[in-house]
Chain A
């Protein structure tokens, strides 16, 4: 039973709520000798793997630490430049830590608003009349269930591929949204949901699912 994350998108496509439930951390540390057998990309702000997938280090993973010292952007926490260290031979052998980049809040907002047109186009391109938008999107690592309420609010949940019964869960989240967000006099529509009771009840429900499965709610 794995639920990775919950997203609520408002009628106009803005992300008004998100909650990460279980986010697996994918991190690999390895010792490298000169020259290093990965092709790194220095072009963006981060140093990422461009080519040469091996030992759990995948393309797209970002360099997070050199010899145990954390990197922010391209700079080590002790003030040195990461690229300079990587490129000079005398620093080797080096212990490098790579990690699958985590989604930042900005990225989540961006992705949520990206889902909105996909949802609309899927309904427009339908070969059958009166189709809804995307209800389930499946990839090889996760499933995304989407439930659109009559008022146009979308509730999305990212779950494990083998998770069943996500529709029931979505309906329950909707109930919580109706009960604790909409009935809160301090909540204004289309604005991010910051209601304590909503958070609390959602967490309680997720704990219940972790213990007894989706059938228990």
Chain B
């Protein structure tokens, strides 16, 4: 069980935060380009899901899985998007994302008057808290080499 990386986007698609833990493959583009591609993909998936769904959706897109990793997605009503890539065996990532939003993002970004809400997060406190939170969570286990 591993956590690969996390992206946090705001409602207009600005990359607020990116951090990676066990990432073995890089996409070969800059962080900004990659973030734009990720956001664009998620935006498309969102409208795709809304159209192809047989009934009315509430939360819409939850996650997707490929042969090597899973991408979990949480969007808040205010449009903040939390994207966490993990391996395929991880459970309960949605709760984890909700906790990250509630306990880390709101506490150390929203309640920090020096953090501007629509530009990348610079706060060191947020960085360390998020890192610690992910590392102590049950899904974080470095792959045995």
Contact = CB atoms under 8 A, between A and B. Distances in A.
B78 interface: no
B77 interface: no
Interface in B27-67: 27, 34, 37-38, 40-41, 44-45, 48-67
Given A114-B44, A129-B25, A131-B69, A139 B49 contact: yes
Contacts of A140: 57-60, 62
A135 B5 CA distance: 20
Interface string A114-145: 11011001111111111111111111111010
Contact of A103 (B24, B27, B52, B57): B52
B24 A129 contact: yes
Contacts of A103: 51-52
Contacts of B51: 103, 107, 111
A128 B21 CA distance: 12
Contacts of A192: none
Interface in A23-81: 23-24, 26, 58, 60
B66 A133 contact: yes
B145 to A, nearest CB: 15
B46 to A, nearest CB: 9
A158 interface: yes
A137 B61 CA distance: 8
A91 to B, nearest CB: 28
Contacts of A26: 55-56
B25 A118 contact: no
Given A134-B64, A135-B67, A144-B52, A122 B24 contact: no
A123 B64 CA distance: 11
Given A103-B52, A140-B62, A128 B24 contact: yes
Max chain A C-beta neighbours (<10 A), residue from B5, B52, B67:
B52
Given A111-B52, A114-B48, A134 B66 contact: yes
A128 B34 contact: no
Contacts of B23: 127
A158 B52 contact: yes
Nearest to A128: B68
A4 interface: yes
Interface in B53-97: 53-69, 71, 85, 87
B60 A139 contact: yes
Contact of A124 (B27, B53, B58): B27
Given A127-B5, A127-B25, A141 B64 contact: no
B41 A128 contact: no
Interface of B: 4-5, 20, 22-25, 27, 34, 37-38, 40-41, 44-45, 48-69, 71, 85, 87
